[in-house]
Chains A and B, each alone.
Chain A
């Protein structure tokens, strides 16, 4: 009994770094953020209590609602795209063939390249003049293509969608799926082969349920990295204004703009509260879905 008590005391000592960090760098900022969102704090520190005025202004602002929509859209698309793409890449590498390590290197590397470097590379690849993408299209189409990919309404979404395949930890997710695929018992495949199952049947009835816990894990971390990483991608790609015309201005860009260009830190705090709630809602949603769909072996 005594040993157990001392055991539990040493457990708390082990936990201590997290507890201090949680109180100082998570819980306190949350409380502080809510409190500051009720002020008209400026970047130079001057602030006055103004009640819910920030929220009232926010809900009346078309810029905010646009940003809110774009954030939801981007997060959903990015999570789905990266997860599906990572599964496909892992499946491609799952079949034992020569040169797999080279292929893995090629698929993995883009996800460890700094997002800002990729963003700049793609800004020039999708550039109107001397852009690689237009050049490739011109070759295939037989005539000169001059599309300004990043500054047109629909094409900018295509560019972001395309870059998403390379970023947001796709490579990292692929490695996680690879380790999951390696753990699927081969007998299941052999048994189903004898029953005459097709590739797709095997995938949906064996592979997918077996890796579903990993899909959950990746969806959770993908969601966070999409909400977080969209800043690192879109700020160098389309600036804090989310060109063209705010179409790519996710909440994080708007927060940055309001705080540092318009110096309205109090308002930025109100926006941060919304972003925090969006993240919480996504988290709740993913866990809600997973309770019904994720299959655990034991």
Chain B
């Protein structure tokens, strides 16, 4: 009896040790970014200590003085909210009949949605680039925000999974009471879908905050630069010494980029685990 208890204790101790080790590995790059922003460029490029010997704010001063960081932040927030609100509304709208109504062609439409889920954006980005060039959308946020308002397959799928788990009687009761389908959707289904909406909203915000690929293709000028593009171009070099990459400033700028995802996580962690209902691709 006693030995099994010690065994269990040892086991749980070992598990703790493993968890801490994994946490150290997973969290080190983030600490590297956070502390790197407070090192001088000399210290960053000559030593590899995790913590700065003489913490300095000069990198933060540098990125505020030598770049339009507020503009980049503003652009990124515009992209993030514009695309997220659009995808939430349209994806939920499209998912509703797929989950809860019967109509001709439903199976076909759902299969097309699943199939398009598998197309990586990058495979269609060149034809889209030409297309958006023709209608004059290049070098703006439009090629990213506008398509988001026409439902994103992955989000449609997540919404559909959740809507399917709501009892059908709820819709039927509302319809007998004289509600139209849009009324059922907006007044009954959407309000009880808060966890899923929040989850998809967070995932979408994080996606657009972090998105590099599409801005790299679509945006040229400083005017519409997002933070990710700015990280690749605007904080790169020390002034005067054109070819030295200013790593310490890049780390400082990266620190700014960490804040919104961290806040979103802190706000939404209680929704995240339960909010994703994915009982497979049935």
Contacts and interface: CB of A to CB of B under 8 A. Distances in A.
Interface string B198-236: 000001001001111100110000000001100110000
A49 interface: no
A186 interface: no
27 contacts: A10-B97, A11-B101, A15-B94, A21-B151, A29-B128, A33-B126, A36-B126, A97-B19, A112-B210, A112-B262, A113-B254, A113-B261, A114-B254, A115-B212, A121-B33, A121-B251, A129-B45, A132-B48, A165-B25, A176-B276, A176-B278, A179-B273, A214-B278, A217-B281, A227-B123, A232-B210, A276-B119
Contacts of B1: none
B144 to A, nearest CB: 11
Contacts of B15: 92, 95, 97
A26 B276 contact: no
A26 to B, nearest CB: 6
B122 A228 contact: yes
Interface in B88-134: 90, 93-94, 96-98, 101-104, 106, 109, 112-113, 115-131, 133
B26 A106 contact: yes
Interface stretch (B52-60, B62-70, B264-272): B264-272
Interface in A4-36: 4, 7-8, 10-12, 14-15, 17-18, 20-22, 24-26, 28-30, 32-33, 36
Q: Which 9 A-B pairs have the closest CB atoms?
A: A21-B150, A213-B280, A135-B48, A283-B118, A11-B97, A117-B254, A8-B103, A33-B127, A112-B261
B241 interface: no
B120 A224 contact: yes
Interface string A95-107: 1010001111111
Interface in A40-92: 41, 45, 89, 92
A21 B130 CA distance: 17
Contacts of B102: 4, 7-8
A87 to B, nearest CB: 13
A102 B16 CA distance: 12
- Chain A binding surface, main DSSP class: helix
Contacts of B126: 33, 36, 255, 259, 265, 268-269, 272
Contact of B45 (A17, A130, A166, A287): A130
Contacts of A197: none
A92 B232 CA distance: 36
User: Which has the most chain B C-beta neighbours within 10 Å: A25, A114, A225?
Assistant: A114
A29 B126 CA distance: 9
Contact of B120 (A135, A175, A228): A228
Contact of B127 (A182, A214, A269): A269
A29 B124 contact: yes
B217 A121 contact: no
Nearest to A108: B265
A81 B49 CA distance: 29
B274 interface: yes
Given A45-B133, A103-B23, A104-B269, 11 more contacts: A10-B181, A22-B112, A30-B127, A107-B26, A112-B210, A112-B264, A114-B257, A182-B273, A232-B213, A252-B213, A294-B280
Interface in B154-190: 154, 156, 180-182, 185
B115 A107 contact: no
